[in-house]
Copies of this chain bind each other. A is one copy, B any other.
Amino acid sequence: MEPKQFKVAVVGATGAVGNLMVRVLEERSFPVGELKLLASARSVGKTLPFRGADMPVEELTEDSFEGVQVALFSAGGSVSRKFAPVAAGAGAVVIDNSSAFRMDPEVPLVVPEVNPQAAFSHKGIIANPNCSTIQMVVALKPIQDAVGISRIVVTTFQAVSGTGKRAIEELRLQVSDIVNGREPKREVYPHQIAFNCLPQIGPFLDSGFTEEEMKMVNETRKIFDDPEIRVCATTVRVPVFYGHSESVNIETRKPLSPEEARRLLEGAPGVKVVDRPAVSVYPMPIDAAGTDDTFVGRIRRDPSVENGLAMWVVADNIRKGAASNAVQIAETLLDGGRL
């Protein structure tokens, strides 16, 4: 019997994440029988390489999803709100990278290493969590399972690729202008990002938190299915191209030594422990870039609180934080016989 092949659509194929979804489908040998690359009308005429061929980009319309079995969306919330129900209505399973459906109680929010079973309850749409949430819950899952986590205080160092291609170009141009003595220009961010830190990702809410920070609170609770877990996040954009870093302080419900935490993490799916501080070995964004793993290091007791642990968590924000996690959700469905 021939192995089953699937008709897969990538919506937003010309964006930083969409582009990478196509590459990850190829790298991870997802059984793509037919690939549809969808984007707005102005991208028609472009092509993307897939398995040695140049695949044309087509315009996204209401009729784009005929026969599509898996639709990976990464074209922003408004495109998802309009077209994800269309794709699902045409029979596809939508895996949506936008925030449009993440907190919808009817829509599972899935990180395959953490809550794969949630994917099976979908009603046509599965949401891919926010990048900064994904790597944190991958790293904390074995600890949550073993002893329970009561509180998380997290500060992020987020790469510009999370904003998209134009932000990558903006950082590159700004550093080039500055080292050559020219005045840097800015278009994407409200302030210069080169050689700077911006304590803002996304719009602010009345509480003083940003939307990005509240995603880390609400998505963590949903993915862990634990409404009691308390999270305080500070999310910061830094002049890094690829790879988000997170300084994470947790309080566990029962005691857990750093050695036990390290042992749990060493056995956890999707996690690589990189923790030999004596020889300056710890996770860094330049090493995480291009991989699908979540790297954890600097695991130590936080002596400022009972049952406290501190750690440093790094992952490629557009791979594990977006494209790869989406493809892994499709693999979860496939492996579970749900495609």
Contact = CB atoms under 8 A, between A and B. Distances in A.
A147 interface: no
Contact of A249 (B199, B232, B284): B232
A175 interface: yes
**Copies per assembly:** 2
A325 interface: no
Task: Please indicate which of the listed interface residues A231, A284, A299 has the most CB atoms of chain B within 10 Å of its own CB.
Answer: A284
A50 to B, nearest CB: 27
A53 interface: no
A7 interface: no
Nearest to A190: B280
A305 B247 CA distance: 18
A207 interface: yes
A277 B230 contact: no
A136 to B, nearest CB: 14
Given A230-B305, A232-B308, A236-B157, A245 B199 contact: yes
Contact of A200 (B204, B247, B280): B280
B234 A310 contact: yes
A156 B245 CA distance: 12
Contacts of A238: 157, 197, 238-239
Contact of A197 (B157, B195, B299, B305): B157
Nearest to A241: B195
Nearest to A279: B190
Interface string A208-237: 111000000000000000000011101010
Contact of A157 (B157, B192, B230): B157
Contact of A207 (B207, B245, B301): B301
A312 B280 CA distance: 28
20 contacts: A153-B249, A153-B304, A155-B234, A155-B247, A195-B285, A196-B284, A197-B245, A197-B285, A198-B284, A199-B298, A200-B277, A207-B301, A208-B277, A230-B303, A232-B310, A234-B310, A234-B312, A236-B245, A236-B247, A239-B239
Interface of A: 151-153, 155, 157, 171-172, 175-176, 179, 190-192, 195-200, 204, 207-210, 230-232, 234, 236, 238-241, 245, 247, 249, 258, 277-278, 280, 282-286, 297-305, 308, 310, 312
